[in-house]
Each structure stands twice: as C-alpha cells, then as structure tokens.
Amino acid sequence: RSITWAGHGDDYKRTAEYAQEGTLIYDDVSGYEFEEFAKKLKPDLIASGIKEKYVFQKMGMPFRQMHSWDYSGPYHGYDGFAIFARDMDLALNSPTWNLIKAPWKQAS
C-alpha cells in the first residue's frame, strides 16, 4: 500500500495519474492525527517535513525529511535518484534502530 501526503493545490492532480488503486492521500492533518495514524499503520519509513522529524524518530520510526535539502539531496534527475536511494537506505538500515524500542513495543 502506498501513502502519499500531498500539500499543494496541484499535487492531487499531478499525483493522481501515477497513484495505484489503494493509494491513500493523507493531507492537512494535525501532528497528533499524523502520529496516531502512524502508530496504527506502523510504516517502514515516514517521509515528511522537518516538523515531524523528531516526533517519529523518538517513536523509533525511520524518517526522511523531504521538504528541503538541509541534510542531503537534491533528489531530482538521474543523479538525484542515487542520492535518494542512499538516503532511504541510511534511514531504514541505521544501526540506531537496534538501540531503541518504539513506545508501543515496550512492556507495560
């Protein structure tokens, strides 16, 4: 299942032609709604803006900040895909994920 979080007026139109059946476009949610959604869905990776970065990292979820390239990028073009692949690999396979447990996985 794919989840796309679009944020600009024309994003829906541009995204719809590429979206497969079952794709969920999740837009304009509060931080609380996004956090609760992620707890239930338990995605392998969250890609969003800088505001959400630390919330999801503290939850033990791999995250990539996509709205600006402060840390890496750019992701466009042929060369950008190699940077994108490297950054996704680093986010998903970071050894730090072995050092923490997501709050919902901890024993009460």
Total domains present in the chain: 1
**Domain encompassing residue 87:** 3-105
Per-residue model confidence (pLDDT) at position 36: 93
Residue 33 φ/ψ, nearest 5 degrees: -60, -40
Asked whether 60 and 97 are in contact (CB, 8 A), the reply is yes
Per-residue model confidence (pLDDT) at position 27: 75
Question: For each successive 10 residues of the chain (108 residues), what is the average pLDDT?
Answer: 58 79 79 90 85 85 77 83 90 83 68
| CATH code assigned at 45 | 3.40.50.1980
42 closest CA partner among 100, 86, 90, 105: 105
- Based on its alpha-carbon atoms, the radius of gyration of the chain, rounded to whole angstroms, reads 15
Per-residue model confidence (pLDDT) at position 15: 77
**Beta bridge mates, 4:** 25
Asked whether 45 and 92 are in contact (CB, 8 A), the reply is yes
* CA–CA distance, 65 with 60 (Å, rounded to integer): 15
pTM reported for the whole predicted model:
0.63
Per-residue model confidence (pLDDT) at position 100: 77
